[in-house]
Amino acid sequence: MFQIKNNIAAGVALVVFLTSLAAFAEGDSSVDATKADTAKSTQKKPTKKKPTKKKLSKAAPESIASKSDTVTPPSDASAPSKSDVAAAPQSTPSTPSSSNNPPTPAATEVPPVAVTKVNAPVPPNAKVDDTDSAEAIKQRSGSGDPVAGKDKSELCQGCHGEEGISAESTAPKLAGQYAGYIIKQIRDFRSGLRVHQIMSDVAKTVNEDDLPDIAAYFASRKKMKGNGSDNKVGQELFLHGDMSRMMVACVNCHGVNGKGKTPTNPVFPVLGGQHKDYLRVQLTNFRSGDRGNSPGGVMNIITQKLTDAELDALANYVSGL
Ligand code: HEC
Ligand code: HEC
């Protein structure tokens, strides 16, 4: 019984936290430095230490407490409310604080709507436009100038492909990726928050003023797309997660077709159609803690309970989207 309660508490904390992350990111299409700093402050340095449930249930309410004053829950948070949520500590009846109130201790801060999400069956129908319409391209390209970016990204094209489709499966495709995500990764490589033998050095050579243009160039290319995959294990985990292990489905953040959460939200990268090898390496690195730059360590938490075979299945399925 104790074990079950513990699991529910951890699950509630995780889902509340994930909801806050999604809400925090909602509609954020700008790539300015303020936003990047905000994102950074929620991140941890890469660490070998695996997040534990205990840590998770403590950390999550704090993070929502600091954000719940400034964000509204995402529009897809209207999940049916279930009564067994009452077993969780965060379900203490509370009202969301007004913007005048200073943050008060975590447990009472959680808006009821976020708590109900624990029982939200996935998947929501987030399907980001991948038709490469002029509007979709504009939305994902941010404020940079893609024409100027073409010349400025010659070096990058050597490895990532002229049209953002890399030939080597260890170098990611950047075609149609959100500009804001590309910018964040370059900054993370530069600061050491994300580490890679080649990219850490390359990122230091990129002028901050050129970065939005370079990112806009790759974002404006024809979006990466896979050739389909019939991997059932990967599909099941991607669309439904595994609540017996408190594993939230990928679709919540990466969308049904793996193209992101909303057309204007650069926090959640395009995964669908990415190289399988690259995806597998990233998932493995998140699980080990070698990559620790996802906001709040969310990807480290998600991959924690997945086996090698499951990571492989996910990489297989996602690369086909
Ligand atoms: C010598 C080859 C090489 C060059 C040149 C290069 N990259 Fe990379 N890039 C890579 C590899 C390999 C990775 C994968 C890193 C990893 O596994 O973590 C990568 C990763 C990235 C990522 C992360 C993408 C994601 O989906 O998370 C971005 C963004 C990126 N590169 C942008 C650039 C830009 C912009 C330039 C030019 C300024 C550039 N790269 C030049 C090889 C290269
Ligand atoms: C709660 C939201 C959330 C969920 C659920 C989630 N992700 Fe992520 N994921 C993110 C965010 C945010 C990033 C961007 C990290 C960063 O900024 O570096 C990311 C990054 C990634 C990347 C790296 C992409 C790249 O180009 O390097 C992969 C791969 C990935 N996620 C796969 C998955 C898979 C597979 C699942 C399900 C098992 C999943 N994610 C579930 C939020 C989520």
pLDDT digit string (tens) for 26-49? Answer: 444 333 333 434 333 444 444 444
Ligand approaching nearest to the C-alpha of 164: 1
**Predicted confidence (pLDDT) at residue 271 exceeds the cutoff of 90:** yes
- Ligand 2 pocket, residue 172 CB under 6 Å: yes
- Nearest in space to 280 (alpha carbons), one of 311, 304, 250, 302: 311
End-to-end Cα, the chain, rounded Å:
40
- Mean of the pLDDT values across residues 266-285? 98
Q: How many percent of the chain have pLDDT more than 90?
A: 57
The token pair that represents 253 in the structure block: 């953040």
- Ligand 2 pocket, residue 183 CB under 6 Å: no
Distance of CA 94 to the CA centre of its chain: 28
- Mean of the pLDDT values across residues 245-249? 92
The token pair that represents 277 in the structure block: 């090898």
Pocket test for ligand 1, best of 140, 159, 194, 276 (most atoms within 8 A of CB): 159
Separation in Å, CA 96 to CA 103, 122, 215: 10, 25, 38
- Ligand 2 center to residue 113 CA distance, Å? 24
- Ligand 2 pocket, residue 8 CB under 6 Å: no
The mean-pLDDT minimum among 17-31, 57-71, 195-209, 210-224 falls in 57-71
Contacting residues for 58 by C-beta, under 8 A, at least 6 apart: 13
- Ligand 1 pocket, residue 156 CB under 6 Å: yes
Nearest atom in ligand 2 to 238's CA: 37
CATH H-level, domain 2-127+227-319: superfamily = Cytochrome c-like domain (1.10.760.10)
The token pair that represents 99 in the structure block: 């913007």
- Specify the fold of 143-219: Cytochrome Bc1 Complex; Chain D, domain 2 (1.10.760)
- Ligand 1 center to residue 204 CA distance, Å? 12
Ligand approaching nearest to the C-alpha of 254: 2
- Ligand 2 pocket, residue 248 CB under 6 Å: yes
The mean-pLDDT minimum among 104-113, 132-141, 182-191, 272-281 falls in 104-113
Per-residue pLDDT tens digits for 282-304: 999 999 999 999 999 999 999 99
pTM score, whole prediction: 0.74
Domain range summary for the chain, segments of one domain joined by +: 2-127+227-319, 143-219
Phi/psi for 294 (5° steps) reads: -80, 145
| Average pLDDT score over the chain | 74
- Nearest in space to 221 (alpha carbons), one of 149, 280, 306, 118: 149
153-183 residues labelled b (16+ CB within 10 A) or e (exposed) = beebbebbbebbbbeebebbbbbbbbbbbbb
Ligand approaching nearest to the C-alpha of 279: 2
Q: Please list the residues that pair with 153 across neighbouring strands.
A: none
**pLDDT value of position 229:** 94
* Fold match, 2-127+227-319 / 143-219: yes
Taking the C-alpha atoms of residue 224 and residue 321, their distance in angstroms, rounded to an integer, is: 9
Residue with CA nearest ligand 2 atom 27: 282
* Residue keyed to tokens 């925090």: 24
- Nearest in space to 180 (alpha carbons), one of 130, 137, 141: 141
Ligand approaching nearest to the C-alpha of 212: 1
Residue with CA nearest ligand 1 atom 25: 172
- Ligand 1 pocket, residue 279 CB under 6 Å: no
- Ligand 1 center to residue 200 CA distance, Å? 9
Task: Please give the residue that has the higher pLDDT: either 9 or 276.
Answer: 276
**Predicted confidence (pLDDT) at residue 74 exceeds the cutoff of 70:** no
Task: Please give the residue that has the higher pLDDT: either 63 or 194.
Answer: 194
- Ligand 2 center to residue 281 CA distance, Å? 13
* Residue keyed to tokens 């690195």: 285
| SS3 per-residue string spanning the chain | CHHHHHHHHHHHHHHHHHHHHHHHHCCCCCCCHHHHHHHHHCCCCCCCCCCCHHHHHHHHHHHHHCCCCCCCCCHHHCCCCCHHHHHCHHHCCCCCCCCCCCCCCHHHCCCHHHHHHHHCCCCCCCCCCCCCCHHHHHHHHCCCCHHHHHHHCHHHHHHHCCCCCCCCCCCCCCCCCCHHHHHHHHHHHHHCCCCCCCHHHHHHHCCCCCHHHHHHHHHCCCCCCCCCCCCHHHHHHHHHCEHHHCECCCHHHHCCCCCCCCCCCCCCCCCCCCCHHHHHHHHHHHHHCCCCCCHHHHHHHHHCCCCHHHHHHHHHHHHCC
Band of the pLDDT at 258, cuts 50, 70, 90? very high
The token pair that represents 276 in the structure block: 């399988």
**pLDDT value of position 131:** 75
**pLDDT value of position 112:** 35
Band of the pLDDT at 126, cuts 50, 70, 90? low
